[in-house]
Amino acid sequence: MHGPLTPEQVRAFYDAHRTTRLYQTAEDGSPLRMSPEELGAVLHAAQRAPTDATAQLYSLIHLTAPELRARMAELTTNAHIATASEAFVVCADARRVGRVLEANGYVPGHWPAIGVHFGLGDAVMAGQNLLTASEMLGYQGCWIGGVLNALPEIMETLALPAGVLPFAALTVGRPAEQAPLRPRLPRELVVHTDRYRDGSPEELRAGTEVMNPIAARGGRPGDWALLLSRYFAQGGAMERREPQLVAALRAQALWAGEE
CB atoms within 10 A of CB 158: 19
Residue 212 predicted with pLDDT over 70: yes
Q: Is residue 1 part of a domain?
A: no
pLDDT tens by residue, 33-60: 999 999 999 999 999 999 999 999 999 9
Tell me what pLDDT residue 198 has: 97
Tell me what pLDDT residue 81 has: 98
Residue 1 predicted with pLDDT over 80: no
CA distance 84 to 134: 12
Q: Is residue 229 part of a domain?
A: no
> What total number of domains does the chain contain?
1
CATH number of domain containing 49: 3.40.109.10
Q: Is residue 250 part of a domain?
A: no
Alpha helices in the chain (DSSP H): 7-15, 36-47, 66-76, 95-103, 112-136, 151-157, 201-211, 224-232, 237-251
Tell me what pLDDT residue 140 has: 98
Residue 225 predicted with pLDDT over 70: yes
Q: Is residue 32 part of a domain?
A: yes
Q: Write down the mean pLDDT value for the chain.
A: 96
What integer is the mean pLDDT of 111-115?
A: 97
CB burial string 105-139: b at 16+ within 10 A, e below:
eeeeeeebebbbbbbbbbbbbbbbbbbbbbbeeeb
Q: What is the pTM of this model?
A: 0.95
Q: Is residue 205 part of a domain?
A: no
Q: Is residue 217 part of a domain?
A: no
Residue 102 predicted with pLDDT over 80: yes
- Inter-residue contact 150 to 31 (CB < 8 Å): no
Tell me what pLDDT residue 98 has: 97
Residue 2 predicted with pLDDT over 80: no
Residue 10 predicted with pLDDT over 90: yes
Using a pLDDT cut of 70, give the percent of the chain over it. 99
Tell me what pLDDT residue 240 has: 95
Three-state secondary-structure class, residue 161: coil
pLDDT tens by residue, 131-171: 999 999 999 999 999 999 999 999 999 999 999 999 999 99
pLDDT tens by residue, 237-256: 999 999 999 999 999 999 99
CA distance 63 to 61: 6
* Containing structural domain, residue 170: 7-180
Residue 258 predicted with pLDDT over 90: no
What integer is the mean pLDDT of 178-206?
A: 96
Q: Is residue 246 part of a domain?
A: no
Q: Is residue 237 part of a domain?
A: no
CA distance 174 to 138: 7
Tell me what pLDDT residue 218 has: 84
> If we measure between CA atoms, which residue out of 189, 190, 191, 214 comes closest to residue 201?
189
Residue 190 predicted with pLDDT over 80: yes
- Inter-residue contact 127 to 170 (CB < 8 Å): yes
Cα four-point dihedral sign 11, 12, 14, 15: positive
